[in-house]
Amino acid sequence: MPQDLHDLDFQRLWRRLQQVGLNAYEARTYMVLLGHPRFKALELAARANVPRQKIYEVLDSLVEKGFTQVVQERTKLFSAVEPGLAIPNYIARRHQQLEIELGEQSRVAEGLVDDLHRAYAEGKEGRGTLEFLRIVNEPGQTAAQYRRMIAASQREYIEFSRPPYAVDPLDEQLVKQARLRGVNCRLLIQAGSIDAGHRQRLNEYLASGIEVREIDSLPMKLALFDERRGMIALLDPLVTKPAWTAVVFEHPGMAEAMKGLFEDYWSKSHAVEPGAAAKPDLPLEAAQG
């Protein structure tokens, strides 16, 4: 341990170097080198309390990470790279490396999802009890289910949309794309205020042929696709912060019952006029917030 650093300071800085990305041996070795101009490897092992058989591996790693440099004299000596250069350069290289790794993982994942989905679909052929119902609490999974179902819809998409609202904005591209495919799209929104941005977006819906009506109150969030699959989101009454639990289903009888509920509320609603719309909620893809 270097003599010019108090033990508490050494321990604190040693741990912070590990938080940056060095392991315990590397951090201790670098700390020792900082207090001295240069060291032979075996001398450094004794000072840094690193096993002799490990010190060359540790020093090679520090050189690779940019914290240590080699001074070649009659024997190989090691010295510390100034922290103001070593640490920022190391972080920059790690950031670049992570971007490359994430890019590669994303490319692999694209193909993997398709392959695994085929295996998943084959496994679902022998369905068990209630496998046509699934409860989803995680917002990302809810959004993925919504996007998958609306992208696959061919005839009809209908939805109850009500507060509390999730993140903005409406995913108008998915709904508009469904309408362009000839899907009959109807949104029933719970009445409320709307800002200029929402009004413009909702007016675009009306102009594209999507039917939008409003009603004073809706009992739940609901999205139905092609009268056979859909999702219901119920507000959890037992938590302080509003949270939704979604039930995803693929069942013609369930869909028929939910469509009957939708039609009942639709018959009691009134049309939204352009420029005077109620505040829309997100489609059910973002129902949890």
pLDDT score for 172: 59
Place of tokens 């590990």: 18
- Averaged over 220-246, what is the pLDDT? 77
Please report whether residue 29 resides in a domain: yes
* 124-134 tens-digit pLDDT: 555 544 467 77
Domain boundary among 82, 101, 121: 82
Q: Domains in the chain: how many in total?
A: 2
Cβ contacts of residue 123 below 8 Å, gap of 6+?
none
Residue 58 confidence (pLDDT) above 90: yes
Two tokens, residue 115: 């392959």
Please state whether the peptide bond connecting residue 169 to the residue before it is cis, i.e. omega within 30 degrees of 0.
Answer: yes
Mean pLDDT of the chain: 79
Residue 264 confidence (pLDDT) above 70: yes
* 85-137 tens-digit pLDDT: 999 999 999 899 888 888 888 888 877 777 776 666 665 555 544 467 778 77
pLDDT score for 166: 43
Residue 194 confidence (pLDDT) above 80: no
pLDDT score for 197: 63
Please report whether residue 214 resides in a domain: yes
CA 31 to chain CA centroid, Å, is 38
Residue 225 confidence (pLDDT) above 90: yes
- Least confident span in 40-49, 65-74, 146-155, 277-286: 277-286
Please report whether residue 227 resides in a domain: yes
pLDDT score for 262: 93
Is the CB of residue 262 less than 8 Å from the CB of residue 161? no
Residue 14 confidence (pLDDT) above 90: no
Residue 64 belongs to a domain with what CATH number? 1.10.10.10
- Are residues 77 and 150 located together in one domain of the fold? no
**Cα dihedral 63, 67, 71, 75 in deg (nearest 10):** -60
Distance (Å) of CA 165 to CA 62, 138, 231, 241: 51, 16, 17, 12
Q: What's the 3-state SS for 52-80?
A: HHHHHHHHHHHHHHCCEEEEECCCEEEEE
Structural domain span for residue 76: 7-82
- Averaged over 12-18, what is the pLDDT? 88
Domain boundary among 50, 82, 114: 82
Please report whether residue 125 resides in a domain: no
- Least confident span in 104-108, 169-173, 250-254, 272-276: 169-173
Q: What are phi and psi of 65, to 5 degrees?
A: -80, -10
Torsion-angle region of residue 76: left (phi > 0), alpha (psi -120 to 50) or beta?
beta
Please report whether residue 97 resides in a domain: no
Residue 194 belongs to a domain with what CATH number? 3.30.870.10
For the chain, what percent of residues have pLDDT higher than 70? Answer: 76
Determine the 3-state secondary structure of 193 from DSSP: coil
pLDDT score for 190: 81
- Are residues 140 and 12 located together in one domain of the fold? no
